[in-house]
Amino acid sequence: MLIAITHEVSRSIVRCELTHLARMPIDVERARTQHEGYCSALRALGLEIVSLPEEPDLPDSVFVEDTAIVLEEVAVMTNPGADSRRPEVESMARTLEKYRPLSWITSPATLDGGDVLVVGKKIFVGQTLRTNRPAVEQLQGLLHPFGYKIHDVPLTDCLHLKSAVTQVAENTLLINPRWVKKSLFEGFKFIEVDPSEPHAANALLVEGTLIHPSVFERTRNRLETAGMPVVSVDADELAKAEGGVTCCSLIVRV
């Protein structure tokens, strides 16, 4: 079975870290309503939700993806690039140790889970303001025994790798080619986001179905035209905190 580990929206999300977006007012209650709708979509796909309680002093804690990389063999606890986010890893480690052995990324390496795209035994790691080259080297050392190969990926103008590219089918990626080059993903097929929707590349693939933000209608049409089932969720309030649909859960097969 699959579980989705989530985290309640913190009342302090209005003080979230921002890198590429201007700060806008965030309606906390609306963000919580949208987050519950996201969890309901996961439940409808058969996942059990493991919800961690609110942490009022951790503004970005709803974005659990950045705290860990969950693989079949191990969970790698990250070392987020923003100092304010590093305490989030502790509570997630206490939860994940119930399901996986843990490994750890340590300084001077910094790593956000949103910069990590796992496709089979290939792991692509974005080189961003939050994730550095030592993290790539540590991941290779930690995961080589399990047969994974790590590929570092330069990108521009976005927070995380999965802002620019995500997996939407077995061998297909949804991509914004202005932010990351297709040539870095040899052997894959691509669906490009609509040019008017640069932030639309973040989709969550769960058991053959995509969860995707409802605001990106043109890109959703491209996905559906390609025969992919899509569940649309409202996520625009959390997007003000530079969050996407992959950010808000860690999917674990148990």
Give the active site residues. Answer: 160, 247
Q: Which residue, chain included where needed, has tokens 């969050």?
A: 243
Q: Which DSSP state fits 13? A: G
Enter the tokens of residue 10: 């913190």
| Cα–Cα distance measured from residue 105 to residue 100, given in angstroms and rounded to the nearest whole number | 16
DSSP alpha helix (H) spans, 14-87: 28-44
Enter the tokens of residue 148: 């994974």
Q: Cα 6 to the chain's mean position, in Å?
A: 12
The closest alpha carbon to 142, from 191, 86, 71, 242, belongs to 71
Q: Which DSSP state fits 116? A: E
- Burial 51-63, CB ≥16 within 10 A → b, else e: ebebbeebbbbbb
Query: Order of strands across the sheet with 149-154?
Result: 116-119, 122-127, 149-154
